[in-house]
């Protein structure tokens, strides 16, 4: 598809270059050359328009000038008028040719850009086509490597599972007995020594607790303690009465 478009673009570019060359030759032609030239200098479509009509006018005016030059001198008003018309038509033709050259050059630039784009696409497609075998080889190599890695992974998983099963079925444990168990014996249900010492120990604890509580009580309990504590004689005391 792109190659067909490229061929079409090349043909259009060559045709426009031929037209531009013909127009440039036509622009550089003199009045005598335009009058004697054939109708094959430019593209037929362009000649069918203004340029062809101007060339016909120049040709007719040139023939008229030849006839007048044979009859009259160069100062003849009619001859001068015809020559002036020839110059005007030649100027119009040059201007029209310049316009056509400019238009065709613009079209040529567009075609050249299009041709360059198509050539780039064709080059990319050719490079991709050439790279396909290398890519296929690389893809096969990658697939082969992946297959080997998958096989290696499956082997490692199988070995790992076999090792776990082997360890679970044949544990390699080492047990060391530090203190061997003694022979079994029957414990005494009644301990008479503890039963005898229990009340004595309780009495000692009770006496010690009584003395401790008594020492915590700092109140005055007799006349002698009052005189000893205050350093004064006791004059009287009140007997303790029972409250009713």
124 closest CA partner among 7, 12, 2, 5 = 2
For the chain, give every domain's residue range.
Answer: 2-138, 199-230
Read off the pLDDT of each residue in 115-129 and give the average, rounded to a whole number.
Answer: 79
pLDDT at 196: 80
Between 98 and 190, whose confidence is greater?
98
pLDDT at 38: 44
Read off the pLDDT of each residue in 50-69 and give the average, rounded to a whole number.
Answer: 76
Q: Which residues contact 46 (CB under 8 A, 6 or more apart)?
A: 19, 23, 52, 100
* Buried b or exposed e, range 149-172, using 16+ CB within 10 angstroms: eeeeeeeeeeeeeeeeeeeeeeee
Please determine, for residue 44, whether its predicted confidence score (pLDDT) is greater than 50.
no
Please determine, for residue 95, whether its predicted confidence score (pLDDT) is greater than 70.
yes
Please determine, for residue 208, whether its predicted confidence score (pLDDT) is greater than 70.
yes
Q: How confident is the model at residue 40 (pLDDT cuts 50, 70, 90)?
A: very low
Q: How confident is the model at residue 206 (pLDDT cuts 50, 70, 90)?
A: very high
Please determine, for residue 153, whether its predicted confidence score (pLDDT) is greater than 70.
yes
């Amino acid at each position: 598809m792109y190659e067909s478009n490229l061929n079409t673009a090349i043909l259009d570019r060559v045709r426009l270059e031929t037209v531009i060359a013909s127009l440039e030759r036509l622009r550089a032609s003199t009045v005598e050359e335009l009058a004697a030239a054939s109708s094959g200098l430019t593209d037929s479509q362009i000649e069918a328009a203004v340029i062809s009509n101007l060339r016909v006018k120049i040709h007719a005016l040139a023939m008229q000038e030849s006839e007048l030059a044979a009859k009259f001198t160069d100062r003849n008003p009619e001859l001068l008028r015809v020559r002036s018309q020839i110059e005007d038509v030649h100027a119009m033709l040059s201007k029209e040719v310049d316009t056509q050259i400019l238009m065709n050059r613009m079209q040529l630039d567009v075609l050249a850009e299009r041709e360059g784009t198509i050539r780039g696409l064709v080059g990319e497609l050719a490079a991709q086509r050439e790279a396909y075998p290398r890519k296929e080889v690389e893809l096969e190599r990658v697939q082969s490597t992946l297959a080997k890695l998958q096989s290696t992974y499956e082997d490692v998983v199988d070995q790992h599972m076999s090792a776990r099963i082997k360890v679970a079925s044949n544990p390699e444990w080492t047990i060391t007995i530090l203190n061997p168990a003694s022979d079994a014996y029957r414990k005494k249900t009644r301990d008479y020594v503890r039963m005898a010492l229990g009340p004595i120990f309780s009495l000692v604890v009770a006496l010690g607790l009584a003395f401790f509580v008594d020492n915590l009580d700092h109140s005055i309990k007799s006349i002698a303690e009052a005189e000893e504590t205050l350093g004064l004689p006791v004059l009287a005391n009140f007997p303790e009465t029972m409250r009713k």
